[in-house]
């Protein structure tokens, strides 16, 4: 028989459990609070400096143009819209500065290929190199040799160990990858609604600072803000077939967890694989969020498909910032150690406007048609 004492005791115990649970966040308020703020630290713990603060005077631009400098762009991976926009931003700003781009390479996410690319590029004796290391440790000696040759290096996203800012390289420029992971988590919570649900994570299984930031941020945001969402499956992918690998991983998740409500993918290309897996499984109700505003995920979002939201980087603006910092290096001008651009939460509601912000051009015809 349930006595008044045991009843009150049970209520008190339940109240204690509730009070110990994190309070549920309001996704809309949390996303609004992200605007304009940078949550990431640099690869060596540096505080972020705004890209908007980078400037070159008319006199400094004239100085740079008189140098007839050359630049090499050494990419980790060139097969997505982010990489293409980075390169476009770099070429645009280098053109404004009178710097000739003499090489653009794509390592296909293979460290040994990137080392070979660096050695090939160095035979052309560039004055500037802008690069994102595929594997910081495996490529460190190659970059140190570049620095020793007097080339001004600006890194994207990450830096190799053993290199000192202001001595071996000018600066590192990054999106707010932690902030984008936070955005993707709040967008997942918003799409799932008050009932929440069970989700899986497809992360990047590599020693890659920026993708680790995204993963850490997504997990922490869910754990700290949404007790109604449970992460029940996680699996890493190593590439280089990131879409195919993610397809296999997501298919396994959907088979093992038939009640899975959502899947987060570390960037847009793996998200394309998750979309494919959801289609094959007949899971039209699956919620997907990711990071990076690529055309394929944008089309799916525009159609009201699986992708309900994503955190976008600003790759064109990032490329512009990197080129300006290369100018700092040529001038011997003091540069901030870590420059970051804020995250941009994107859903169907602001998709066309976000595309313009990210790429400095109107959305593609395929995206526009998908919005109808």
Collect all residues with Cβ–Cβ distance below 8 Å to 1 and sequence separation of at least 6. none
Lowest-confidence segment of 37-46, 297-306, 358-367 by average pLDDT: 37-46
Confidence of residue 296 (pLDDT cuts 50, 70, 90): very high
- What does the pLDDT look like over 94-104, one tens digit per residue? 999 999 999 99
Query: Bigger pLDDT: 266 or 13?
Result: 266
Residue 199 main-chain phi, psi, to 5 deg: -135, 160
Higher-pLDDT residue of 81, 273: 273
| 115-145: pLDDT as tens digits | 999 999 999 999 999 999 989 999 999 999 9
Three-state SS string across the chain, please? Answer: CCCHHHHHHHHHHHHHHHHHCCCCCCHHHHHHHHCCCCCCCCCCCCCCEEHHHCCCCHHHHHHHHHHCCEEEEEECCCCCHHHHHHHHHHHHHHHHCCCEEEEEEECCCCHHHHHHHHHHHHCCCCCEEEECCCCHHHHHHHHHHHHHCCCEEEEECCCCCCCCECCCECEEEEECHHHHHHHHHHHHHHHHCCCCEEEEEEEECCCCHHHHHHHHHHHHHHHHHCCCEEEEEEEEECCCCHHHHHHHHHHHHHHHCCCCCEEEECCHHHHHHHHHHHHHHCCCCCEEEEECCCHHHHHHHHCCCCEEEEEECCHHHHHHHHHHHHHHHHHCCCCCCEEEECCEEECHHHHHHHHHHHHCCCCCHHHHHHCC
Is residue 83 scored above 50 in pLDDT?
yes
**Residue-level pLDDT at 122:** 98
Look at 46-60, 70-84, 277-291 and tell me which has the smallest mean pLDDT: 70-84
Distance of CA 164 to the CA centre of its chain: 24
CATH homologous superfamily for 27-39+177-313+346-370? Response regulator (3.40.50.2300)
Q: Do domains 27-39+177-313+346-370 and 49-176+315-341 have the same CATH topology?
A: yes
Q: What is the pLDDT of residue 22?
A: 57
334-346 pLDDT, tens digit per residue, is: 999 999 999 999 9
What is the average pLDDT across 1-30? Answer: 57
Query: Where does the pLDDT of residue 14 fall: very low under 50, low under 70, confident under 90, or very high at 90 and above?
Result: very low
**What CATH architecture does domain 49-176+315-341 belong to?**
3-Layer(aba) Sandwich (3.40)
Q: What is the pLDDT of residues 142-201, one digit of tens each?
A: 999 999 999 999 999 889 999 999 999 999 999 999 999 999 999 999 999 999 999 999
321 CB-near residues (< 8 Å, 6+ apart)? 51, 54, 173, 339, 341
**Cα 276 from Cα 202, distance rounded (Å):** 14
Assign 24 a pLDDT band (cuts: 50, 70, 90).
confident
Q: What is the pLDDT of residue 314?
A: 93
Mean confidence (pLDDT) of the chain: 92
CA separation for the pair 240, 81 (Å, rounded): 16
The larger pLDDT score, comparing residue 78 to residue 348, is at: 348
What lies within 8 Å, CB to CB, of 129 at 6+ separation is 71, 72, 73, 74, 118, 121, 146, 151, 152, 153, 154
Distance (Å, rounded) from C-alpha 216 to C-alpha 331? 38
- Residue 367 reports pLDDT greater than 60: yes
pLDDT given for residue 178 in this prediction: 95
Biggest CA–CA distance in the chain, Å, is 92
Residue 161 CB coordination number (10 Å): 9
Contact yes or no for 105/75 (Cβ under 8 A):
yes
Query: Phi and psi for 170 in degrees, rounded to 5?
Result: -80, -50
The rounded percent of the chain whose pLDDT value lies above 70 is 94
Domains of the chain, by residue range, sit at: 27-39+177-313+346-370, 49-176+315-341
Q: Would you state the pLDDT for residue 239?
A: 82
Looking at residue 7, its pLDDT comes to 40
Look at 28-42, 108-122, 190-204, 214-228 and tell me which has the smallest mean pLDDT. 28-42
Q: What is the mean pLDDT of residues 233-259?
A: 96
């Amino acid at each position: 028989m349930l006595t008044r004492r045991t009843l009150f005791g049970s209520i008190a115990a339940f109240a204690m459990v509730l009070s110990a649970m994190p309070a549920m966040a309001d996704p809309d308020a949390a996303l609004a609070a992200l605007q304009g703020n940078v949550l990431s630290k640099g690869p060596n713990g540096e505080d972020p400096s705004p890209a908007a603060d980078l400037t070159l005077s008319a006199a400094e631009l004239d100085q740079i143009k008189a140098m007839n400098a050359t630049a090499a762009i050494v990419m980790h991976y060139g097969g997505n819209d982010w990489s293409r926009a980075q390169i476009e931003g770099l070429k645009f700003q280098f053109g404004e500065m009178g710097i000739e781009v003499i090489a653009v390479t794509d390592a296909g996410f293979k460290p040994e290929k990137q080392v070979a690319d660096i050695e090939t590029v160095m035979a052309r004796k560039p004055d500037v190199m802008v690069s994102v290391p595929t594997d910081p440790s495996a490529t460190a000696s190659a970059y140190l040799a570049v620095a020793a040759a007097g080339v001004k290096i600006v890194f994207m996203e990450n830096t190799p160990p053993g290199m000192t800012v202001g001595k071996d390289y000018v600066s590192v420029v990054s999106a707010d990858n932690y902030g984008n992971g936070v955005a993707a988590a709040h967008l997942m919570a918003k799409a799932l609604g008050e009932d929440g649900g069970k989700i899986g994570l497809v992360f990047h299984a590599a020693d890659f600072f920026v993708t680790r930031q995204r993963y850490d941020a997504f997990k922490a945001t869910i754990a700290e803000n949404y007790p109604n969402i449970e992460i029940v499956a996680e699996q890493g992918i190593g590439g280089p077939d990131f879409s195919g690998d993610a397809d296999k991983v997501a298919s396994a998740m959907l088979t093992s967890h038939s009640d899975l409500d959502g899947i987060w993918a570390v960037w847009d290309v793996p998200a394309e694989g998750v979309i494919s897996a959801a289609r094959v499984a007949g899971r039209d109700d699956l919620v997907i969020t990711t990071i990076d505003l690529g055309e394929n995920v944008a089309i799916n979002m525009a159609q009201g498909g699986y992708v309900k939201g994503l955190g976008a980087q600003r790759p064109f603006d990032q490329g512009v910032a990197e080129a300006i910092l290369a100018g700092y290096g040529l001038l011997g001008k003091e540069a901030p150690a870590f420059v970051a651009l804020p995250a941009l939460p994107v859903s169907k509601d602001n998709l066309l406007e976000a595309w313009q912000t990210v790429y400095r051009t109107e959305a593609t015809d395929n995206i526009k048609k998908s919005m109808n």
